[in-house]
């Protein structure tokens, strides 16, 4: 995950470096007609930068998978040495559900990062980020409710 964050920071700096207004950038700032409504395009992201971002995300996925597998194995080893009891079995159920949610959430973040890497302009980034945020807030709500139910059953 640290590699992913470092790559994201490099991408941001590269983007800022390359986003200086040019003739094409100035043209992109102009409003244009799209289906009868005025649309303002802020600026376009360079193709090479989008490809670099996409490849960095593709490289981050296997690293994330390795980290999650190692964390799951370590936790399973720890859970296996606990004495067998009803409390332990309930704790394992909560842990498994929480790990499943963590995997889903990181996978969703990597998916939106890949989508953001394909964004052609700032409007596209904001729209994709908005959809992701709304979806994740809904998912977090459902996940919290389910974990709450598991915890209550375990108490």
**How, if at all, do strands 31-34 and 37-40 pair?**
antiparallel
**CA Rg, the chain, in Å?**
21
Per-residue pLDDT at 34 exceeds 50 = no
61 touches 112 (CB < 8 A): no
Whole-prediction pTM: 0.63
pLDDT band at 133 (very low <50, low <70, confident <90, very high): very high
CA contacts within 13 A on the Cβ side of 58: 8
CA distance 69 to 121: 36
CA distance 53 to 142: 31
- Dump pLDDT digits (tens) for 104-122: 999 999 999 999 888 888 8
**What is the residue whose two structure tokens read 């370590």?**
74
- Dump pLDDT digits (tens) for 40-59: 455 677 788 888 888 888 88
Q: Residue 101 has what pLDDT?
A: 94
């Amino acid at each position: 995950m640290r590699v992913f964050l470092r790559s994201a920071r490099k991408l941001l700096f590269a983007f800022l470096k390359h986003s200086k207004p040019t003739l094409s950038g100035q043209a992109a700032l102009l409003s244009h007609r799209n289906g009868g409504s005025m649309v303002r395009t802020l600026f376009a992201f360079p193709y090479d930068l989008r490809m670099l971002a996409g490849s960095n995300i593709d490289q981050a996925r296997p690293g994330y998978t390795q980290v999650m597998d190692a964390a799951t194995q370590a936790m399973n080893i720890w859970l296996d040495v606990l004495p067998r009891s009803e409390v332990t079995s309930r704790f394992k159920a909560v842990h498994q559900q929480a790990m499943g949610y963590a995997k889903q959430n990181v996978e969703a973040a990597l998916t939106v990062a890949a989508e953001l890497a394909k964004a052609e302009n700032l409007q596209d980034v904001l729209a994709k980020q908005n959809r992701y945020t709304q979806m994740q807030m809904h998912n977090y709500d459902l996940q919290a409710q389910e974990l709450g139910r598991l915890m209550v059953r375990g108490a």
